[in-house]
Amino acid sequence: MDSSPESAHSDSPFDELNEKCAVFGIYNHSEAGNLTYLGLYALQHRGQEGCGIATMDNGRMIIRKGEGLVSEFFRESVISELKGRSAIGHNRYSTAGSDSQRISSRFPPTSATPRWPSSTTEI
């Protein structure tokens, strides 16, 4: 049996380096929203079509999302709304389908029950 790297074959999506989207999160920090903004800004090269951040503040989810660059959408007034000690953010790099705002971030438009967003986007 040949054990050389050339003979190894896998269909795993992790076999190759990819630059698709970015996900960044902070847990249990008073500046979670702001730090998540900074994390997405640092990862801007991973997706420039859309961005979104969701924070959790006393059981209430706050969601802000939009099209374009992190620095263009998340102005200081938007960042100041992201209260809470937990946050998760996403930069979108489309790999299939439309780049419309509807799918720019996989956050639900509203949520009666606090829950974290999920994504079907390739990461």
pLDDT tens digits for 56-107? 999 999 999 999 999 999 999 999 999 999 999 999 987 766 555 444 445 4
Catalytic residue (choose from 12, 14, 16, 21): 21
Q: Cβ distance 101 to 92 under 8 Å? A: no
Question: What tokens does 46 get?
Answer: 């991973």
DSSP H helix total and E strand total for the chain: 3, 4
pTM over 0.75: no
Q: Which helix (H) or strand (E) holds 60?
A: strand 60-67
User: CA-CA distances (angstroms) from residue 54 to 3, 9, 18?
Assistant: 46, 39, 25
Looking at residue 56, its pLDDT comes to 97
Q: For the residues of 95-107, what is the DSSP string, one character each? A: SSS---GGGTS--
The owner of tokens 């998760």 is 88
**Known catalytic residue: 21?**
yes
pLDDT band at 115 (very low <50, low <70, confident <90, very high): low
